[in-house]
Chains A and B, each alone.
Chain A
């Protein structure tokens, strides 16, 4: 069964420091991978997605992620964190044949990012 693991529940970084949020997935075929961000009390916004091709994908707000098939990982990175990046981040994998029909997104449990001034 498809699954997504985000090993870090909560991460704190200083403003201006680099950031890496980890995501590992379990999937039998080529995965469709997503990173979403959620501010408190809000919906989710897509940061970036990977379907095929270049394994390093660029997203909005200066984020990027690298797909590594050998490690079953899709880690999210940002070179310099801003205070406004404090939020919860969700990794997701597109699941095929859910319930025998069409697709669905399987979400990790999220990583909460806090930014120190």
Chain B
């Protein structure tokens, strides 16, 4: 079945560590997105990529980094510069380069906790 797979489902990070969240899709979609979700805050865009080897900052990119070396993969690294990384992270993809004309497909999320 086609879809988006995020791993791991739960992740624990120590202070000062970098951690990487995986997002893989087999939908052959061009565009991929990372959102952060906090209680009562809705979804906030971290980074997005509309083509391989290219990505753009979203609203809250500070303390995060991404890469897009393959069409199907868009990993997110939460760096030690992110002071409040505890949150639920969602990855999404769409077929085209604009969300207006197609459905966004979401992964099941990764819950990151700082310990």
Contacts and interface: CB of A to CB of B under 8 A. Distances in A.
Interface of A: 9, 32, 34, 36, 41-46, 49, 51, 90, 94-96, 99, 101-105, 107-110
**Chain B facing A: main interface SS:** strand
Contacts of B35: 107
A9 B31 contact: no
A44 B90 CA distance: 9
Given A43-B6, A102-B98, A107-B43, 14 more contacts: A32-B101, A36-B106, A43-B90, A44-B43, A44-B104, A44-B106, A99-B57, A101-B50, A102-B31, A102-B50, A103-B97, A104-B33, A104-B99, A110-B42
B90 A90 contact: no
Contacts of A36: 106
Contacts of B88: 41
Contacts, number: 65
Interface residues of B, number: 30
Interface of B: 4, 6, 31, 33, 35, 40-43, 45, 48, 50, 56-58, 88, 90, 92, 97-101, 103-104, 106-109, 111
A45 B50 CA distance: 21
A109 B100 contact: no
A96 B108 contact: no
A105 B39 CA distance: 19
Contacts of B48: 104
A41 B111 contact: yes
Nearest to A110: B42
B106 A94 contact: no
Nearest to A99: B56
Q: Which 6 A-B pairs give the minimum distances between C-beta atoms?
A: A43-B106, A103-B98, A94-B100, A109-B42, A32-B100, A107-B43
Contacts of A34: 104
